[in-house]
Amino acid sequence: MELIFNGYSIVLLISGLFTLFIARLIFKKLGSVVRWFSLLMLLIAIWAITYSFELSCRTLPDMLFWINFEYIGIALLPATWIIFIIHFIGKENWLNKTIIALIYLIPIITIGMVWTNSLHHLHYTLVGIDTMHDFPLLSIEFGIWYRIFTVYFYILLALGGYLLIRTFKQADTIYKKQNSSILLGALIPWMFNLFYMLGIRPLEHIDLTPFAFIITGLLISLGLMQYRLFDLIPIGREKVINSMHDGFLILDHQDRVIDYNKNILHFLSHSASSTIIGITLAELFKTQNQLLETVQKRINGNVEIQIRTNSRTSYFDIAVTSLFKKNTIYSGVVLIFRDITELKNDAIQLKNQSEQLSDLNQLKDRIFTIISHDLRTPFNQLHTALNMTLKGMLSKQELSVLLPELAECVKQTSGILDNLLSWSKTQMNGELTEARTLNLLVLAKTEMELLLPGAKEKNIAFKCKIEPSIYVFADKEMIKLIFRNLINNAIKFSNQGDTITIYATPKDNFVEICIEDSGTGMRPETLSNLFSAKTFSTPGTHNEQGTGLGLLFCKDFVEKNNGKIWADSSRLQGSRFYFTLPEASMLSIKHDSQVHA
Q: What is the DSSP string of 150-208?
A: HHHHHHHHHHHHHHHHHHHTT--HHHHHHHHHHHHHHHHHHHHHHHHHTT--GGGT---
R_g over Cα of the chain:
47
**244-339: CATH topology:** Beta-Lactamase (3.30.450)
User: Long-range contacts for 362-365 (Cβ within 8 Å, ≥24 apart)?
Assistant: 362/533, 362/534, 362/535, 363/533, 363/535, 363/552
The predicted-structure confidence for 164-173, as pLDDT tens digits, reads as follows 777 666 554 4
Band of residue 229 on the pLDDT scale cut at 50, 70, 90: very low
More reliable by pLDDT, 50 or 272: 50
Residue 199, Cβ density class (10 Å: 0-12 exposed, 13-18 middle, ≥19 buried): exposed
Q: What is the pLDDT of residues 14-38, one digit of tens each?
A: 877 877 877 777 676 545 567 787 8
Edge to edge, what strands does the sheet with 301-309 contain? Answer: 257-260, 247-252, 329-339, 312-325, 301-309
User: Tell me, what's the pLDDT at 597?
Assistant: 43
How far is Cα 443 from Cα 453, in angstroms, rounded to an integer?
Answer: 18
Domain boundaries, the chain: 7-226, 244-339, 343-429, 433-595
Contacts of 227 (CB under 8 A, 6+ apart): 174, 177, 178, 181
Q: Are 447 and 414 in contact (CB under 8 A)?
A: no
Q: Where are the beta strands (DSSP E) in 178-311?
A: 247-252, 257-260, 301-309
Maximum pairwise Cα distance, the chain: 156
- CATH of region 7-226: 1.20.1070
For residues 337 and 249, is the Cβ–Cβ distance under 8 A?
yes
pLDDT band at 253 (very low <50, low <70, confident <90, very high): confident
Q: How confident is the model at residue 590 (pLDDT cuts 50, 70, 90)?
A: low
Round to whole Å and give the CA distance between 208 and 51.
10
Residues 469-498 have a mean pLDDT of 90
> Quick one: DSSP state of residue 375?
I
Q: Say what the pLDDT of residue 433 is.
A: 73
Mean pLDDT is highest, among 45-49, 363-367, 379-383, 587-591, for 45-49
What are the pLDDT digits (tens) for 333-378? 889 898 888 888 888 888 888 877 776 676 666 666 556 555 666 6
Contacts of 216 (CB under 8 A, 6+ apart): 44, 185, 186, 188, 189
CA pair distance 575, 517, nearest whole angstrom: 6
Query: Which contiguous run of DSSP H or E holds residue 238?
Result: helix 237-242
Name which residue leads in pLDDT, 330 or 73. Answer: 73
Give the mean model confidence (pLDDT) for residues 293-309.
Answer: 87
Confidence of residue 5 (pLDDT cuts 50, 70, 90): confident
Compute the C-alpha angle 562/578/509, nearest 5°: 45
pLDDT value, residue 500: 93
Question: pLDDT band at 58, cuts 50/70/90?
Answer: confident
Q: What is the 8-class DSSP label of residue 256?
A: B
Average pLDDT over residues 54-73: 90
pLDDT of residue 69: 92
| pLDDT > 90? residue 397 | no
pLDDT: which is higher, 428 or 343? 343
Percent of the chain scoring above 90 in pLDDT: 20
Three-class secondary structure of residue 465 per DSSP: strand
At 553 the pLDDT is 79
CB 251 within 8 A of CB 235: no
158 phi and psi angles, rounded to 5 deg: -65, -40
Highest mean pLDDT among 403-417, 544-558, 565-579: 565-579
Residue 111, burial from CB neighbour count under 10 angstroms (0-12, 13-18, 19+): middle
More confident residue, 340 or 572: 340
Question: CATH homologous superfamily for 433-595?
Answer: Histidine kinase-like ATPase, C-terminal domain (3.30.565.10)
For residue 273, pLDDT beyond 50: yes
Mean pLDDT, the chain, rounded, equals 79
Judging by DSSP bridges, how do beta strands 124-130 and 137-142 pair with one another?
Answer: antiparallel
Cβ-based neighbours of 213, under 8 Å, separated by 6 or more: 44, 47, 48, 77, 189
Choose the weakest-confidence range: 181-190, 347-356, 428-437, 522-531: 181-190
Lowest mean per-residue pLDDT among 179-183, 351-355, 517-521: 179-183
